[in-house]
Structure 1
């Protein structure tokens, strides 16, 4: 049997994970090579793991998360108003599957952005496409989309993510275009996608800030 030809055929079929495991298996002593059924199961599992890893890496690059943060890195204290149980519950992805929103408020430097990015990383690891925006970059991207006539496509692209993170909401006044864009996005995502918003502004003041009843 031409084992190299078999490995090449796997690669030509884009079964890269399977090909790598197959080539590694060929280096084993004969007595350690598994029976055909077990071998096939192992190769299929290797391909699944390879694709899941590749998807995760792709989602992490696409997400543009500000911090390399993990849920276990979050400092949970009563002074910060967050518990380990809350972090674990948010990290399991249930709120994303349900299309629910998470609002994170607090003073400057309390770790709002870090927490949001940790949840964003968990989202990517769970297989949910995630996109992070600081509000400054969101407003810049909005202005560019309005300028080059791609606003509707831009809104659709943002809305298609399973998790959207808008960081530092409320730091600067919103233009009418920005208010409309945010409301358009939230309306499109209602029940279909989850959104995390961080802000120094108390939630009770948001309606007045957006100037929308």
Structure 2
């Protein structure tokens, strides 16, 4: 019990509390009561931190991973198991996830659920629709605050980029996005959702050289998932019409 208390005080940065306990040479009951109090304090700190991270992340939905409907038409790559995915191994190893597939097949929902799980585990996550991020970078560049904007993004452990490919990006925006994502390479994790195969990404960035370099960085340490099937939103709309 004494060792457990020592380790807990160390994690909570309460070294002087532990020193006081040792000096007082308290009873086992005293040790146990203090240990339970500190465990409670630690849990409350973790909950408060998770809530701050969730608020900061900018998620558009809040469906948890335990609620996600895994389906047979999702292609999970052999490079990662579902258990490793749910345990956020890719974040610990600074790897990327690329979700490729038609709209409405669960890409954004899974990306968000993984992001929420990361927040619950104390990770700093930021969620952006790609065009919103490009707009943010361009406005910061025009105002002369690009370095500050980039720094605020580069502090996160996981960046989720949603809807890559729905709209083309102009040359300036493409270059700003490329330089930002290059700084993530082997340093932090990315989740990218897209409706386009890699061979069609040149339609987004309109620059073969830049597109090739970006794809190379993204897929070097990436697990690529394929999503197929009928849109959940379409299926749900049909079911509502039949009622």
- Show the 5 A alignment for 1:165-204: 165-204=160-199
Residues 167-207 of structure 1 deviation map (CA, whole Å, 9 limit, x = unaligned): 00011111122212222122211111100000001123225
In structure 1, list runs of 5 or more residues that go unmatched.
1-14, 16-33
Please tell me whether residue 63 in structure 1 is matched to residue 76 in structure 2: no
Q: Aligned residue for 1:118? A: 113
Q: Given the alignment of the two structures, is residue 100 of structure 1 paired with residue 95 of structure 2, yes or no?
A: yes
Partners of 1:153 and 1:185 lie apart in 2 by 12
Instruction: Output the CA distance in 2 between the equivalents of 1:71 and 1:204.
Output: 31
Q: Report 1:117-136 matches (<5 A).
A: 117-136=112-131
Residues 93, 126 of structure 1: 8 Å contact kept:
no
Q: Distance in 2 between matches of 1:148 and 1:165?
A: 25
Matches within 5 A, 1:27-176: 35-82=29-76, 86-176=81-171
**TM-score under structure 1 length normalisation:** 0.78
**Can you give the 5+ residue segments of structure 2 that lack an aligned partner in the other structure?**
1-13, 15-27, 213-243
Q: Secondary structure at the match of 2:71?
A: coil
- Inter-partner Cα distance in structure 2 for 1:114 and 1:196: 12
Contact 2:134 2:177 in 1 (8 A): no
Instruction: Tell me whether 138-147 or 196-205 shows the greater mean CA deviation.
Output: 138-147
CA-based RMSD of the aligned residues comes to 2.0
Residues paired across the two proteins, number: 180
Q: Measure the CA separation in 2 of the matches of 1:167 and 1:105.
A: 11
**Contact 2:138–2:176 (CA under 8 A) maintained in structure 1:** no
8 A contact 1:71–1:87 mirrored in 2 = no
